[in-house]
Amino acid sequence: MRIRNIEVNIVKGSAAGLFAMTGLINEFTVRAACADLINNAAAQGRPSVMLPALGTGRGKFPLVGCAKITSQEVLRAAREGRGSLGEINICLDSDQAFDIFAKQVFGYLRHVTEDLAWGPYVTTDIIIEVAGGVVVIERTNPPYGLALPGGFVDNGESLENAARREAREETGLDLVDLKQFHTYSDPARDPRFHTVTTVFTARGVGEARAGDDAKALQIVPLAELRGLKYAFDHDKVIADYLARK
């Protein structure tokens, strides 16, 4: 099975001597050992690496748990890219281990790369309070219309950092007193595809100006927020926000 630039194979054979784990064996040490094997192979410029079922022998770590951890580290290596490393072989010395790993590893990798790849996608939106009202942008791209500033959360980014980044990119404002308001997950809330957004409230600091995905920007008084036509479900978000004011 190929995950980006890495071919993943599960083979039968003796894994003895490939890697001996000593000391405390738990999910953290198994994960660290798996990552070390992959990283060391990449650092040495090797085209492939052989992984045993770490910790499952004398350490009695569960085979299913080891298979899941191995899958997650394979995904990490494929996502981040590891130099010349183009093949990861998981070597198992028993029929039981082979069957468990074949089901768990390939099933897990397919679920993450194929099923989850179709969403839902994680986004964030921000109700930015400034003197005179709330910041509302006019979107440059479809779906067109007015909206709260916001956007997609990048890989490795927290919701809070995504909110701060999107606010700077779209409005030029820094955020203070950032607080989670509510999460909206209706599959129909976004006409493009299923997105789950966490909405924040914050105070904006600086000079508001339109940028990035914002064609224009306006500061709307609270009393006028309900009368506008918004993209996505931002009319509901605004209504919920005003109900709590």
Beta carbons within 8 Å of 94's beta carbon, 6+ residues apart: none
What pLDDT, on the 0 to 100 scale, is given for residue 224? 96
What fold is seen in the domain 2-118? Leucine Aminopeptidase, subunit E; domain 1 (3.40.220)
d(CA 92, CA 220): 63
Contact 55, 21 (CB under 8 A): yes
For the record, the structure tokens of 228 come out as 């506008």
Q: Where in the chain is the domain with CATH 3.90.79.10?
A: 121-244
What pLDDT, on the 0 to 100 scale, is given for residue 82? 79
d(CA 172, CA 240): 25
Alpha-carbon distances, residue 121 vs 75, 174, 196 (angstroms)? 18, 25, 6
Q: Where in the chain is the domain with CATH 3.40.220.10?
A: 2-118
Per-residue pLDDT of the chain (245 residues; tens, 9 = 90+): 999 899 999 998 765 545 666 678 899 999 999 999 999 999 999 999 999 999 888 888 999 999 999 999 999 999 988 788 999 999 998 899 999 999 999 999 999 999 999 999 999 999 999 999 999 999 988 898 999 999 999 989 999 999 999 999 999 999 999 999 999 999 999 999 999 999 999 999 999 999 877 889 999 999 999 989 999 999 999 999 999 98
What pLDDT, on the 0 to 100 scale, is given for residue 81? 86
Contact 194, 120 (CB under 8 A): yes
d(CA 123, CA 147): 13
What pLDDT, on the 0 to 100 scale, is given for residue 14? 67
> What CATH number was assigned to the domain covering residues 121-244?
3.90.79.10
For the record, the structure tokens of 172 come out as 């030029």
Contact 122, 153 (CB under 8 A): yes
pTM: 0.83
Burial of 81 (0-12, 13-18, 19+ CB in 10 A): exposed
Q: What is the largest CA-CA distance in the chain?
A: 72
What pLDDT, on the 0 to 100 scale, is given for residue 198? 98
What pLDDT, on the 0 to 100 scale, is given for residue 58? 80
Contact 151, 123 (CB under 8 A): yes
d(CA 186, CA 136): 22
